[in-house]
Structure 1
Amino acid sequence: MSEQTASTSEDPLGASNRRDFFKLVGAGAGAAAAATVASPLLPASAFAADSPKFKLGEPRPAFILDPDVLYMNIGTTGSTPKHILKSFDDDDREVARNPLETFGGVTPMRQAIAPGFGAQLEEFVISYNTTDGMNKILAGVELNAGDEIITTNHEHPGGNGPMNLLLRRRGVKIVVLPLPVGNDQRATDYVDLFRAAITNKTKAFVFSAPTFLTGTMLPYKRLAKLAQSKGIMTIVDGAHATGMFALDFNATGIDFWGCSGHKWQCGPGGTGVLYIRNRVDRNNPLPLFNFWPTNTNNTLLTGPRTNENAATYGIGTALQSIGNPNYPMLKAFAETCQFWDRIGRRTIEKHDLTLSLYLKGKIAEVWGVEHLYSPKDDPELLSALTSFSPFHKNSLVLQLGDAATAETNQSTEFVTRMREEYGIVIRNTAVPVIGSPAPHHPMRISTHLFHSARDVDRLVRSMKDLAMKMGVA
């Protein structure tokens, strides 16, 4: 969904594209059909005169990624485009020459890129990473002793940390839902899971979309509607959403998003996006809970942002104002977002997800669908992160002790050897699995705008070869 034509459907691609997307990759015929796709089947982008020509699936000349390394760990950090690196360096030098240089301040930067995310100026903050955004959100909402947050066991420390602070300092109750893994799940399962946990004390849903452990894209619109029906606020860790999905924040119906700028958005390190809903409309008709800008140097603010003072409060500007910022860094991030807008966020989303589904189909063909920790068949749960184990099925009951240590070591060895012997960078994660006392350690693979089907084929061939060397048939 683009910022201009955001869908109101419940899936990441929008209702008008859901059938076409699965037809595109042959998913309707199962894993074997998906594995026959020869390319992402997406056209090249049109380009602005002041940025390099860029064709999806071809990293050069827009990126300076090492041509001898196939980098597929964008879920940890991305690669800033070449032309933006140059302007970033030039701007750093200009600030060193003239320390008073502000490049017009941060407000014009926010104004330039907020519409690309479906946000108004006072809903949009350039933060310093997802953790920064999540801390600002959870510190600012009014939650007190006895109030309940419903969250999941697949959350990142960037969200768990501030939630734990609310537990320890204010007595807020944290209800943790165990999430499924693998392909045998549907979007409605998550709605049922959250609905069953709601009590008259529930004040917030806090969840990741997608999760960093398996790449499952939780059905945020469905969960937003459920929350709205119960008067509950929604807070989303979207570290892996910005730059991968064509998000229209307002259309999601979510109250708060804390997102990364350096992962899939490929901005400089130390950048992120914080969204705070500052309007009441058909996408979310509820008044927003009172919100305090707990990290600001704006001394004129005497109380929280409420719906009565929302138009004049300037909540986005208040949260942006924390002292003298790194103007070149924020400017480079804004320029990266504008580069994405010119390529087309909808185009990038379709490319990323098509490649991801192609990869999942290849994995299912070689190892079996039971080795996937990420869902494949429900497009609403699909993201460009793919999690799987070449060594065991996702249903493995792994006991604590020597077996768990051996599984961890095997997974770590696989990641290391993929890098050292095949020149391919992936990572592993520690995934809690229902019924397993010890977490599993599947591989996690990112497919992004500079990857192609040829890259996926090389990856799968290499992983199959290494698995055989390690004694896995």
Structure 2
Amino acid sequence: MSEHHDPLMSTAQPEAGRRRFFRLVGAGAGTLAAGTLPLVSPQAFAATNHVMGEPQPAFALDPSILYMNVGTTGSTPVHLLKAFDDYNREVARNPRETLGGTTPMRQAIAAGFGCETEELVMTYNTTDGMNKILAGVELNAGDEIITTNHEHPGGNGPMNLLAWRKGVVIKRVELPVGNNQTAQDYVNLFAAAITAKTKAFVFSAPTFLTGTMLPYKRLAMLAQQNNIMTIVDGAHATGMFNIKFHETGIDFWGCSGHKWQCGPGGTGILYIRNRVSSFNPRPLFNFWPTNTNNTALTGPRTNANAASYQIGTRVQSIGNPNYPMLKVLSECCTWWDEIGRAAIEAHDLALSAYLKQKIAQVWGTAKLYSPMGDPELVSALTSFNPFHGPSLALAAGSGAATAESAQSSTFVERLRTQYGIVIRNTAVPVPGSTAAHHPVRISTHLFHSTQDVDRLVASMRELTKLMLAGR
């Protein structure tokens, strides 16, 4: 494989694992034009510039479909699909086979996520992790959770259960939408909602509705200053971002294994902070292991027993798990580590910035529901509407709201059936509008290229013109 000698490229930048990945992925990773992505640092941008050798299929994606809905689910790499089949056959041949057990699997991936083995649990999806967290923290009648109006049902469900069964108070801050946002805006919203009864922040980073990456480090600092625990729905963080859990300062992360991380369906990553550090010097709040074989035997993890309490092992223990599925998740995570999580993040975000710039050129920044101006808020999820922007006021139950929803659904369906491109739309609460807006949501991942983005934008532009002309 020939190397691309970009003047921005550090001579120490191309790791062997990353070179091997981009040789495998072939034409699936693109070359970005220098100077077009001001939101990405020169070092990170340089990591996305490649010249491909002969392509080998790293992923089994249908070549006739441009799949850009990784935010719903990813694609497991080909070599791990083979391993999955082998592991299942091994367990079927010997049903007592554990493939080494889950502890070595967690040990293999903990360093890549910047945490200790005993802080990590391989779960069955983000919802599973969020339920384990919210069922295990000590929250009682009158205690307040500050959350947002952009949360996923996987977090809303267990929060609502706490409200219904225990009398916990749920307070929702109304998030801004569009490109006119700053990281400090979110800190101010949460800070204004704090009272003496506030016990937890629960928020998504990034949000699944617009892809806004909430400033979790700033919010973690705010929480620490006010003796508040932090719980993050990170369904789109693992596999997209180079997340180092300790360095986030967050207490709990519930994350996905099958979206951007591209593990098998029904996999997730759960982080439970079990260490104090300069990033979070406060002891963890008392936490009860939930959905575990060990609950009746151990009691809660407290400050007194933190050093000896193996929280990850206790929460991981649920009887007989799906060992092949969890082993493939572990191996997918170590493959990400070999490629380089920083390089993957740089690639994903650079493509997202490239897409946002294309959208701004064709439709204008006023049509964006995702921020692009503050680098702290960007992710590889891009949300926009080719027909209107967040400034449109829609009344709940009105004909205009019904028409807007139908128009968005038609756009997504026609893009799939007529152009072979798969994206999705979402229902976004927008300040000043009593009815939700329905922008489309696009994922740019490591198996995408600038050519894919160009094809998408050209197709959406043509379809927009057709629909506006009534065709």
TM-score, scaled to structure 2: 0.89
Instruction: Please tell me the residue identity of whatever aligns with 1:211.
Output: T
**Residues in 2 aligned to 1:168 and 1:135: alpha-carbon distance in whole angstroms:** 15
Matches within 5 A, 1:143-154: 143-154=139-150
Determine if contact 2:48/2:346 at 8 Å carries over to the other structure: no
Q: Shift of residue 299 of structure 1?
A: 5.4
Q: Are 1:162 and 2:158 counterparts?
A: yes
Q: Shift of residue 177 of structure 1?
A: 0.5
* Residue 27 of structure 1: aligned partner: 38
Structure 2 SS opposite 1:231: coil
**Residues in 1 aligned to 2:202 and 2:33: alpha-carbon distance in whole angstroms:** 30
Determine if contact 2:37/2:45 at 8 Å carries over to the other structure: no
Q: Shift of residue 393 of structure 1?
A: 1.6
Structure 2 SS opposite 1:234: strand
* Residue 13 of structure 1: aligned partner: none
| Counterpart among 431, 442, 467 of residue 428 in structure 2 | 431
* Residue 451 of structure 1: aligned partner: 448
Structure 2 SS opposite 1:312: coil
| Counterpart among 463, 468, 471 of residue 471 in structure 1 | 468
Instruction: Quickly say closer, same or farther: Cα 1:59–1:312, change in 2 above 3 A.
Output: farther
| Counterpart among 224, 239, 259 of residue 228 in structure 1 | 224
* Residue 66 of structure 2: aligned partner: 70
* Residue 278 of structure 1: aligned partner: 274
Matches within 5 A, 1:69-108: 69-108=65-104
Instruction: Please tell me the residue identity of whatever aligns with 1:448.
Output: H
Instruction: Please tell me the residue identity of whatever aligns with 1:264.
Output: W
Determine if contact 2:48/2:350 at 8 Å carries over to the other structure: no
**Residues in 1 aligned to 2:56 and 2:255: alpha-carbon distance in whole angstroms:** 27
Structure 1 SS opposite 2:308: helix
Matches within 5 A, 1:5-404: 24-27=35-38, 41-42=46-47, 60-298=56-294, 301-400=297-396, 401-404=398-401
Determine if contact 2:121/2:316 at 8 Å carries over to the other structure: yes
| Counterpart among 389, 402, 406 of residue 403 in structure 2 | 406
Superposition misfits of 4+ residues, deviation over 6 angstroms: none
Instruction: Quickly say closer, same or farther: Cα 1:332–1:24, change in 2 above 3 A.
Output: farther
The one-character-per-residue Cα deviations of 1:185-208 (angstroms, maximum 9, x if unpaired) are 000000011000000000000000
Instruction: Please tell me the residue identity of whatever aligns with 1:325.
Output: P
Instruction: Please tell me the residue identity of whatever aligns with 2:316.
Output: Q
Q: Shift of residue 22 of structure 1?
A: 13
Structure 1 SS opposite 2:147: strand
Q: Shift of residue 307 of structure 1?
A: 1.6
Q: Shift of residue 97 of structure 1?
A: 0.9
Instruction: Please tell me the residue identity of whatever aligns with 1:422.
Output: Y
**Residues in 2 aligned to 1:433 and 1:150: alpha-carbon distance in whole angstroms:** 19
Instruction: Quickly say closer, same or farther: Cα 1:117–1:434, change in 2 above 3 A.
Output: same
Task: Name the Cα RMSD after superposition.
Answer: 2.1
**Residues in 1 aligned to 2:33 and 2:103: alpha-carbon distance in whole angstroms:** 41
Instruction: Please tell me the residue identity of whatever aligns with 1:104.
Output: G
Q: Shift of residue 59 of structure 1?
A: 8.1
Instruction: Quickly say closer, same or farther: Cα 1:171–1:69, change in 2 above 3 A.
Output: same
Instruction: Please tell me the residue identity of whatever aligns with 1:42.
Output: A
**Residues in 1 aligned to 2:46 and 2:413: alpha-carbon distance in whole angstroms:** 32
* Residue 413 of structure 2: aligned partner: 416
The one-character-per-residue Cα deviations of 1:414-472 (angstroms, maximum 9, x if unpaired) are 00000000000000000000010100000000000010111000000000000111016
Instruction: Quickly say closer, same or farther: Cα 1:221–1:22, change in 2 above 3 A.
Output: farther
Structure 1 gaps of 5+ residues are: 1-20, 29-33, 46-53
**Residues in 2 aligned to 1:23 and 1:185: alpha-carbon distance in whole angstroms:** 26
* Residue 9 of structure 1: aligned partner: none
TM-score, scaled to structure 1: 0.89
Instruction: Please tell me the residue identity of whatever aligns with 1:437.
Output: T
**Residues in 1 aligned to 2:34 and 2:207: alpha-carbon distance in whole angstroms:** 26
Instruction: Quickly say closer, same or farther: Cα 1:91–1:302, change in 2 above 3 A.
Output: closer
**Residues in 2 aligned to 1:308 and 1:170: alpha-carbon distance in whole angstroms:** 26
Instruction: Quickly say closer, same or farther: Cα 1:208–1:248, change in 2 above 3 A.
Output: same
Q: Shift of residue 373 of structure 1?
A: 0.0
**Residues in 1 aligned to 2:175 and 2:400: alpha-carbon distance in whole angstroms:** 23
**Residues in 2 aligned to 1:386 and 1:59: alpha-carbon distance in whole angstroms:** 28
**Residues in 2 aligned to 1:273 and 1:385: alpha-carbon distance in whole angstroms:** 20
Determine if contact 1:59/1:451 at 8 Å carries over to the other structure: no
The one-character-per-residue Cα deviations of 1:147-204 (angstroms, maximum 9, x if unpaired) are 0000000000000000000000000000001100100000000001100000000000
Q: Shift of residue 313 of structure 1?
A: 1.2
Structure 2 gaps of 5+ residues are: 1-31
Instruction: Please tell me the residue identity of whatever aligns with 1:308.
Output: A
**Residues in 2 aligned to 1:439 and 1:466: alpha-carbon distance in whole angstroms:** 23
**Residues in 2 aligned to 1:432 and 1:208: alpha-carbon distance in whole angstroms:** 15
Q: Shift of residue 25 of structure 1?
A: 3.4
Instruction: Please tell me the residue identity of whatever aligns with 1:196.
Output: A
**Residues in 2 aligned to 1:470 and 1:44: alpha-carbon distance in whole angstroms:** 36
Instruction: Quickly say closer, same or farther: Cα 1:328–1:55, change in 2 above 3 A.
Output: farther
**Residues in 2 aligned to 1:75 and 1:311: alpha-carbon distance in whole angstroms:** 37
**Residues in 2 aligned to 1:249 and 1:313: alpha-carbon distance in whole angstroms:** 19
Structure 2 SS opposite 1:313: coil
* Residue 17 of structure 1: aligned partner: none
Stretch of structure 1 that moved more, 298-307 or 68-77: 298-307
Instruction: Quickly say closer, same or farther: Cα 1:55–1:305, change in 2 above 3 A.
Output: farther
Instruction: Please tell me the residue identity of whatever aligns with 2:403.
Output: A
Instruction: Please tell me the residue identity of whatever aligns with 2:57.
Output: P
Determine if contact 1:221/1:253 at 8 Å carries over to the other structure: yes
Instruction: Quickly say closer, same or farther: Cα 1:44–1:359, change in 2 above 3 A.
Output: closer
**Residues in 1 aligned to 2:402 and 2:418: alpha-carbon distance in whole angstroms:** 23
**Residues in 1 aligned to 2:416 and 2:88: alpha-carbon distance in whole angstroms:** 33
